Structure 1
Amino acid sequence: MTMRATVGDRIVVASGVVGGAVRDGVVIGCPHEDGSPPYQVRWSDTGEETLVFPGADTLVQHDGGGTEGTRAPRPEPARALTWDVRVSLLEAAGSTTAEAMLKPGPDVGSLRGVGHARKDPGDAEIPVIGDEVAAARALRRLADALLEQAEQDISAQTGHRAHVHP
């Protein structure tokens, strides 16, 4: 299926790089009558206008079309968020501790997961392995904490005990 857009539609593009920003803009020009790409887009974050050849990481939100009196309701805009996870590691005497912290947003408290790894006394000292094991355990516990928070939030909204499958 070929992507189609018209002037006024919203374009949302996910970053091709881990940790990169999600961008959104408005189609201000569409050179093809059938609505096929490329599109001239004005980006909301910079006001810059560029020619966009959308890929699989692109979403088009249509304006509803039709005349003013018969226009369909405009769809809710896509939400674009970036959550950063910080993993801190401390290694001492063949033992590594990792702490993974997530701060989802200004209205949400931080979540934390801690993981430990210990070197077997007979093994060679290869710090990166302890880092990997401790960090993986911390991230797994952080994921569990995030699922638990989601369950609490769902329960608060519905009034019923919730369970989210991992």
Structure 2
Amino acid sequence: MFDEQDPPTPKRRGRRVEQTPIQRALGLLVRREHSRNELTRKLTARGIEREDAEAAVDKLAQAGWQDEERFAHSLVRNRAAAGYGPLHIRAELGMHRLPEELVRQAMDDYDGDWADNARDLVRRRFAGGLDDPTRRRKAADLLARRGFGGDLVGQVLRGTGQDWDDQA
């Protein structure tokens, strides 16, 4: 089948061409939005000098590939859809070192209803209802851990009594 005189075809070695800082940053941005701080941190963690990383992020921001406002709005939408409350999301935005005005704007622009999000989360996790005080406490703990404030937790739990099936 194979002729012994034919040399084997050379295997391709997985030599990677060294990427520039801009190429690496762009590779991260095509997957999801990143804040400037997060993008710079990831680039420096991959061995890129801080000055080069910051310059790459600046160029991508000028070209419109990286945008803090777009990142903030995206994070709010994604975390709210995943069942997190406003306190958790605001804290996460703060960890990205975004300006307070931008954080406030992104939170204000969210068009969902935090109470509905909390109710949906409780319904998914406690499908049998909250008649038992232990289950109500566990639901309250869940909402608090997820970043829903005490007033909102109380409002949601007061509204999820005997009429549990009617609200679904």
With structure 2 as the length reference, what TM-score do the two structures score?
0.27
Larger radius of gyration: 2
Which structure ranks higher in relative contact order (CA pairs < 8 Å, sequence separation ≥ 6)?
Answer: 2
The structure richer in strand per residue is: 1
With structure 1 as the length reference, what TM-score do the two structures score?
0.27
